[in-house]
Structure 1
């Protein structure tokens, strides 16, 4: 979609569409519109904008549901497990200290990874044309 009053050639020069799913996912994970990479994807912490102000992509079609939370917890657990094992096996902290550290790390990492995980899920849904998204134009193969 282009902005009203702009032809498609003028709109295409304003932003560059992603060339691969990896690029779209990278954009979404950095809180950027997966389609144009220019505008922010989230209006609030986990609330995507209704429409991108740059490329006019409608983001109300996404259905990320609980998958971003599963991803954030999975990644947090894989980061935390070696650290917890290393600290606990050397008895560097008392039990209460280890519990405080573990809970703090779990909350901090999960909350830090939740928005990027949701951005990646939305970007991949867009790239694969799921849940009402139109397939984005793919680059020509040589």
Structure 2
């Protein structure tokens, strides 16, 4: 059995979108679809489901990073509403695309470390 890498190494593999076990194979098929298995070490990745965790984390990160500057701009300059739409709309979309994949990679890597896929299902499907 392959030893689990240290936590920092595991997180870096998730950030880079690499297999949590070997660090060589791609974690994703496409932009956010988790690969069925690692092409390098044949780790079954299909059972790792990130769920809504990465989206919630992205919401909190982008919310904190955008609402503050938007409120500051509104309170100091009070621009028309269209200025906010032009500034913050594309920034939210770009920010979401930038952080969602690394957050999903980290989530799958943490699942690999802490969740045994051979465990029996728990009550409630958790």
- How does the TM-score come out when normalised to structure 2? 0.81
Whole-Å separation in 1 of the counterparts to 2:113 and 2:28: 18
Whole-Å separation in 1 of the counterparts to 2:10 and 2:101: 15
Q: Is residue 107 from structure 1 mapped to residue 93 from structure 2 by the alignment?
A: yes
The root-mean-square deviation of aligned C-alpha atoms, in Å, is 2.2
Q: Is residue 123 from structure 1 mapped to residue 112 from structure 2 by the alignment?
A: no
In terms of Rg, which structure is larger? 1
Tell me which stretches of 4 or more aligned residues in structure 1 moved more than 6 Å: none
2:15 to 17, 29, 37: 29
Query: What is residue 122 of structure 2 aligned with on the other side?
Result: none
Please report how far the alpha carbon of residue 130 of structure 1 lies from its aligned counterpart in structure 2 after TM superposition: 4.0
Larger RCO, structures 1/2 (Cα 8 Å, 6+ apart): 2
The worse-fitting range, judged by mean Cα deviation, of 84-93 and 119-128 is 84-93
CA contact (8 A) 1:63 1:131 kept: no
Higher fraction of helix: 2
CA contact (8 A) 1:17 1:36 kept: no
Gaps of at least 5 residues in structure 1 are 2-11, 134-142
Whole-Å separation in 2 of the counterparts to 1:45 and 1:24: 20
Aligned length: 119
Q: Judging changes above 3 Å, is the alpha-carbon distance between structure 1 residues 97 and 121 closer, same or farther for their aligned structure 2 residues?
A: same
Cα shift readout 1:13-69 (whole Å, capped 9, x = no counterpart): xxx85222x321221122111111112211101111111111211101112111111
Query: What is residue 78 of structure 1 aligned with on the other side?
Result: 64
Gaps of at least 5 residues in structure 2 are 120-126
Whole-Å separation in 1 of the counterparts to 2:104 and 2:25: 16
